[in-house]
Structure 1
Amino acid sequence: MNQSATIANLQANQTILDALARCIAACEMCAAACLHENNPQMMVPCIELDRDCADICRLTSAFIARGSQHAPHVIKECIEICQKCADECGQHQHDHCQYCADACRKCADACQQFAA
């Protein structure tokens, strides 16, 4: 892919790339905040999903940005993990968990729209 094609690809995919970036940041923030809650042991499933979600979003973003032919496979996993992370974080009343759940839902929706 030449430079102008790469730039055009990034511009065309800016919506999903932005949703992925917001989800990465929300998940990293949530995981860090969960570690400082009164009972961090209770937050282990949330922390684990936050980390998995941030990692799959990073990978998905890279695949989309470079126009990888394997992006559709990764996007399916990203949707699944974002939905699971949203469900887990949504169970907790902490502001950081609610913020993360919202970012994950929006990311899953953006990925679904991109995949369609």
Structure 2
Amino acid sequence: MTIVDYATGIRACSACAVACDACTEACRQAADPQPLRQCIERCHDCADVCRLTALLMARESEWATALCGLCARLCLACAEECARHPLPQCQECAQTCQHCADECEALGEAA
């Protein structure tokens, strides 16, 4: 696959990483962040994997599509966790993660 094939995935992963960073910060600043601990951890992991996935796609790495599969699973798990919380950043993150999961899943299957 080429960078052109990966363009939507790169954009989705980049947007997801940004949304996860915003969600993490909002959760940390909540009055009681303890119940949001798993959300924070998932968002950290998701942001890191999304950044790496976007980087490998941009480099047209032979491992990019394999990582897309992992990224899709992690984004889906993050979306499910974020959707449980009423904070606006969590809800936005859930939607962005779901979109990224859909894009990465499609790229992983296209390989």
Aligned equivalents of 2:60, 2:7: Cα separation in 1:
13
Quick one: which of 85, 88, 110 aligns to 2:81? 88
5+ residue gaps, structure 2, are none
Residue aligned with 2:18, SS = helix
* Cα shift at 1:113: 1.4
Quick one: which of 22, 27, 39 aligns to 1:46? 39
- Between 1 and 2, higher relative CO (CA 8 Å, sep ≥ 6) is seen in 2
Stretches (4+) displaced over 4 A: none
TM-score by length of 2: 0.93
* Cα shift at 1:10: 2.8
**Which runs of structure 2 are paired with 1:1-116 in the superposition (5 Å)?**
9-116=2-109
Q: Give the root-mean-square deviation of aligned CA atoms.
A: 1.3
Residue aligned with 1:39, SS = coil
Aligned equivalents of 2:4, 2:104: Cα separation in 1:
16
Query: Percent same amino acid at aligned positions?
Result: 38
